[in-house]
């Protein structure tokens, strides 16, 4: 193991507390610590900073944690940036879903306009592909919504779930029920529909407006 590697390893082992430069000098006496440290700092593997009156060294894996532990202002700023990042991620996800959903609706609309050109099946396939992409996430939210709204015997009006999920996923009424139908058909052992209500899925000519998880 080279001197550089040994030094890096030693600094790494000191964790988020870091290690004093003077201590390193003592430990690695006989070696040009300053030059070696300069080289490692250039590679970005370690950081050197002043803490009190002494200079400390940290491995890159621990430097951030050290700053978060010791500098309150830095921690606040870091948290603000993280929150901003999450917010941007959510907005970008929602935007992607809206675009996806609108694309599906446009394709669906086009297929209705051009049925005689035999394009309807292609549009359906595109829409179906969009729906499949959404289905996994939709299932998670659908299950959660059922558990939130269900009555003492587990049943919930689909309209209540629709209100929440259409807003959350920015999907239309029709797309919502299309997804519900797929879910129930694919997981017949998990979901149960019941007749009644004012909106829902039609099975055997009967409107099924209630759902529950078995």
Partner 1 sequence: MYPYNLEQNPYPSSPTPTITDAEIIGGKRHKEAKAAVVSCIENLYSKITGTAATDKDFRLVTIIQDVGSGKTHLSLHIRGLKELSSNTIISYTDLSQISPRDLHSLYRAIRAGFTEDYIKEFKKSIVYFLKHKAEHNIKDAKKIFNFGILDSIQGKSLAYKAEEILNGKLIPNYSAIHRVLKGEFSSVEISVIKLILEGKFREDIYNISTLEGIISNITALASLNWKFLRKLTILQIDEFDSNEDSLDFIKAVVNAHLRLTILMLVMTPSSYEEIRKENASVFDRLEKANYKIDLAGSNTLEEVLDILLEYIRQVANKMVFTIDEERDLSAKIKVIYDEFYDFRNIRSMINIMYHAMENAKRRGARTIDEAAIDDTIRSAYPGLRIQGSIMGVTLADFMKIHRSSNDEQRLESDIRDAVINLVNYAHENGSVAKLEEANEKSCGIDLIYDDLTGIKVAVAVIINNDRTKTFDQISDRMKSTISADRFIILTNINAYNTTDKASVVNIDRRKMIDLIYFSSKYKNNEIMLDDSQRALMLAKSIKLC
Beta-bridge partner residues of 191: 213
Nearer to partner 1, 23 or 181 (CB): 181
Q: Which residue of 37, 142, 157, 178 would you call a contact of partner 1, by CB under 8 A?
A: 157
Contact flag: residue 177 with partner 1 (CB under 8 A): no
Q: Which two tokens stand for residue 166?
A: 């259409």
| Contact between 53 and 67 (Cβ < 8 Å) | no
Q: Give the shortest CB-145-to-partner 1 separation in angstroms.
A: 16
Q: Which residue of 76, 151, 173, 199 would you call a contact of partner 1, by CB under 8 A?
A: 151
Radius of gyration for the alpha carbons in the chain, expressed in angstroms and rounded: 30
Contact flag: residue 189 with partner 1 (CB under 8 A): yes
Residue 99: closest CA among 88, 91, 87: 91
Q: Which residues are within 8 A (CB) of 195 and not within 5 positions of it... i.e. 6 or more apart? A: 206, 207, 208, 209, 210
Contact flag: residue 48 with partner 1 (CB under 8 A): no
| Contact between 12 and 61 (Cβ < 8 Å) | yes
* Kind and range of the H or E run holding 208: strand 206-208
H helical segments located in 14-71? 21-27, 33-43, 60-70
Q: Which residue of 29, 136, 153, 167 would you call a contact of partner 1, by CB under 8 A?
A: 153
Q: Which residue of 85, 109, 185, 199 would you call a contact of partner 1, by CB under 8 A?
A: 185
Nearer to partner 1, 25 or 121 (CB): 121
CA atoms of 158 and 202, how far apart (whole Å): 12
Contact flag: residue 195 with partner 1 (CB under 8 A): yes
Contact flag: residue 125 with partner 1 (CB under 8 A): yes
Contact flag: residue 154 with partner 1 (CB under 8 A): yes
CA atoms of 177 and 73, how far apart (whole Å): 49
Nearer to partner 1, 94 or 113 (CB): 113
Q: Give the shortest CB-109-to-partner 1 separation in angstroms.
A: 19
Q: Which residue of 3, 48, 163, 197 would you call a contact of partner 1, by CB under 8 A?
A: 197
Q: Which residue of 118, 136, 140, 167 would you call a contact of partner 1, by CB under 8 A?
A: 118
| Contact between 211 and 180 (Cβ < 8 Å) | yes
Residues that bind partner 1 (CB under 8 A): 118, 121-122, 125, 151-155, 157, 185, 188-189, 192-197, 203-204, 206, 208-210, 212, 214
């Amino acid at each position: 193991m080279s001197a550089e590697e040994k030094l890096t390893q030693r600094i790494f082992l000191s964790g988020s507390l870091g290690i004093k430069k003077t201590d390193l000098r003592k430990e690695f006496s006989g070696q040009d610590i300053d030059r070696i440290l300069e080289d490692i700092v250039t590679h970005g593997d370690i950081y050197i900073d002043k803490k009190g009156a002494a200079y400390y060294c940290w491995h890159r894996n621990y430097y951030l944690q050290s700053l978060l532990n010791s500098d309150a202002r830095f921690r606040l700023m870091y948290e603000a940036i993280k929150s901003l990042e999450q917010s941007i991620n959510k907005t970008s996800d929602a935007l992607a879903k809206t675009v996806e959903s609108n694309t599906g609706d446009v394709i669906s609309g086009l297929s209705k306009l051009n049925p005689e050109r035999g394009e309807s099946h292609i549009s359906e396939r595109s829409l179906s592909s969009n729906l499949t992409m959404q289905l996994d996430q939709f299932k998670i939210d659908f299950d959660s919504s059922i558990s939130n709204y269900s009555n003492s015997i587990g049943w919930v009006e689909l309209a209540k779930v629709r209100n929440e999920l259409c807003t959350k996923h920015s999907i239309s009424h029709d797309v919502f029920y299309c997804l519900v139908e797929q879910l129930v058909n694919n997981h017949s052992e998990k979901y149960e529909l019941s007749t009644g209500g004012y909106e829902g899925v039609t099975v055997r000519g009967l409107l099924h407006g209630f759902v529950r998880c078995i």
